[in-house]
Structure 1
Amino acid sequence: MTQTAPSKIAGKSIGTVGYGLMGFTQWHGTPFEEAIEVMKAALESGSNFWNAGTFYGPPDRNSLHLLHAYFTKYPTDAAKVVLSLKGAYDGSTHTPDCSPQGIRSSVEESLAILKGVKSIDLFECARVDPNVPLETSVKTLAELIKEGKIGTYGLSEVSADTVRKAHAIHPVSAVEIELSLFSRHALENGTIKTCQDLGIPVVGYSPLDRGWLTGQLKKLSDLPKNDYRHHMPRFQSGAFEKNVLLAEKIEGIAERKGVTAPQVAIGWVVKQGVVPIPGSTTTKRVQENAKAAELTEGELEEIRGFVEEFGVAGERYPEVLQGHLNG
């Protein structure tokens, strides 16, 4: 049974498709002048829920610096954008710090970089910290809300059990998980159902599975030599060739509908009752991704059959990064 995607997060109206900012500062080093115009195109296309990270890029050039530049140029857009920020995480060591000091430091540093041009509508600890009781972390976030430093808080990469426990301590405003046709774990392990039962909006990152569902990957050599995906399990020889088969079936549906493969993939996420946050660094792709394909029940069943027939080879992340998943 299909669901209706959330229309509000943190009490504010959002478009059907959101926007992930990681690519600009994490992978591509896009000049801010160019990035700002792509972000403007996303907003004008209805994608006003923006997802950023304190660790998306180096300390002197991450999402926050880009956001400061954007809202300095377009100050009136601050009221139109719903900003979700992941933090309390060391990107260089891939370790969370969700202690009261760690969370507060992350929020304070973020506010210092933003310099008042935009508020933090939703703050998420990027991963659950196994060394800090969940209650301690949530109570700190609740204090920051009361102090007016963040609007609401969310959870990222969490289990259904963690959602229930956190929500009982202080209401959760959103849960961010990875969701795509290639990554359906949150549908299968009860996380998404738990959120929907509790009325918590779900945000799905990587809806195109790091490029698998763009229609652009046919052989390993399609990846640039220095591309980070060479380290990801689904892009290894053997797994790659198998995964192409499922991707091509999705392309076939898109071609028949007169839309693109990304639009079908994003439309599938929407049908799960989840807000997809595709990331792109070009205006053309941003505008394309903002138009989720409307899938019929028959098409959803067809996709389900392809998934069962072909499956997906490889884990979501390499082993070194799996420790803090589904916390």
Structure 2
Amino acid sequence: MPQLLGKEVGPIGFGLMGFTWRPQPCSQEQAFAAMRAALKNGMNFWNGGEFYGTPEYNSLHLLERYFEKYPEDADKVVLSIKGGVDTKIMPDGSPENIRRSVDNCLKLLKGRKKLDIFECARRDPKTPLEVTFGILEKEYVQTGKIGGISLSEVKASTVHEAAKITKIVACEVELSLWSTHILENGVAEACAQYDIPIVAYSPLGRGVLTGQIKSLDDLPADDMLRHYPRFQPDVFPINLEVVKHVESIAQKKGCKPSQLAINWTRAVAKKHGASVIPIPGATTAERVDENAKVVELTDEELAELDAILSKFEIQGSRYPDYVPVDG
């Protein structure tokens, strides 16, 4: 089991984004049922964001209400929250904004749950890391206001740089059978070098690896994915070819494609000497139960998946050009 801040966390975590960052958020009752199901399944690493939603209703609001109703769950959860962005959701690691962001997260939690981990959602190119992390370390970690500092969406050189400045307790980056870049650009190796657990977001390839998205027609008209390069009409059918092979292997394995995809992130990280906590999102208890299943992959199955990935290059970048990405 991975360790975070001295606490054991389940092999699979839980992403909160889907509850508040969508045109029509699910009901609080449904969200609470999913959150309870996560803990029941040992998914006690929870990941959210100050900007997952609106200033009036985001991850912190939902969490505060949850822990008000279930205070006994607060100490069971290792909570990681992304922040450090401005009103346009652009990176801002300045001392003023970092204080504003962390203080706002703490305010919204109302003391019902400790903010175990804070992570700047992106690196701010205008502010040196030692300035941003200096504020977080001295004013928040050392005073016990937060438990530790995580990186998010970074390249290998940033991992090396950050590790020289302060203790990094986690690194959240995209990893899936649809996004293998951290295995090739040195990020996984850097995290292994400093014993930094990788928090793998979008382990289901933004839902594609579930096998439920067969064409662009399966995406709502207002879905933000329609703006992403990998979901454009000229390349999306090509990218779906990988999914067909994942479905075939999952069928032989006796599991769902989603379960195969989630557990692949754990297995492939071991080959690079790193530990991974995938954080699939889910908005129903039933989907949480499905995502929580631990599936051990054999060397032969991993080799088969490697062979598939070598034949099918995913077309298009991970994000539109207007989204800042460090790595």
Give the TM interval when normalised to the shorter protein.
over 0.9
Other-structure match for 2:292? 290
Other-structure match for 1:197? 193
Tell me the SS of whatever aligns to 2:304: helix
| 2: CA distance, partners of 1:165 / 1:173 | 14
Of 145, 148, 154, which aligns to 2:141? 145
| 2: CA distance, partners of 1:164 / 1:172 | 10
Other-structure match for 2:325? 324
| 1: CA distance, partners of 2:6 / 2:132 | 22
Q: Does 1:13 align with 2:8?
A: yes
Alpha-carbon distance, 1:318 to partner: 0.9
Tell me the SS of whatever aligns to 2:133: helix
Other-structure match for 2:26? 30
Tell me the SS of whatever aligns to 1:158: coil
Alpha-carbon distance, 1:215 to partner: 0.6
Tell me the SS of whatever aligns to 2:43: coil
The gaps in structure 2 that reach 5 residues or longer are 270-274
Q: Does 1:98 align with 2:93?
A: yes
Other-structure match for 2:47? 51
Tell me the SS of whatever aligns to 1:85: strand
| 1: CA distance, partners of 2:310 / 2:294 | 23
Alpha-carbon distance, 1:293 to partner: 2.0
Matched residues, number: 319
**Residue deviations 1:184-243, cap 9 Å, x none?**
111100011111111111110000011110110111211122211111111111211101
| 2: CA distance, partners of 1:161 / 1:261 | 33
**Residue deviations 1:70-109, cap 9 Å, x none?**
100110100100000100113x523111111111111111
Alpha-carbon distance, 1:10 to partner: 2.0
Alpha-carbon distance, 1:324 to partner: 2.9
Of 235, 239, 244, which aligns to 1:248? 244
RMSD: 1.1
The gaps in structure 1 that reach 5 residues or longer are 1-5
Structure 2 residue identity aligned to 1:314: G
Moved more, 48-57 or 152-161: 152-161
Q: Does structure 2 conserve the Cα–Cα contact (< 8 Å) formed by 1:154 and 1:176?
A: yes
Structure 2 residue identity aligned to 1:100: P
TM-score (structure 1 length as normaliser): 0.95
| 2: CA distance, partners of 1:147 / 1:222 | 48
| 2: CA distance, partners of 1:299 / 1:324 | 32
TM-score (structure 2 length as normaliser): 0.95
| 1: CA distance, partners of 2:223 / 2:150 | 30
Q: Does 1:40 align with 2:70?
A: no
Other-structure match for 1:223? 219
Other-structure match for 2:113? 118
Q: Does structure 2 conserve the Cα–Cα contact (< 8 Å) formed by 1:107 and 1:149?
A: no
Other-structure match for 2:272? none
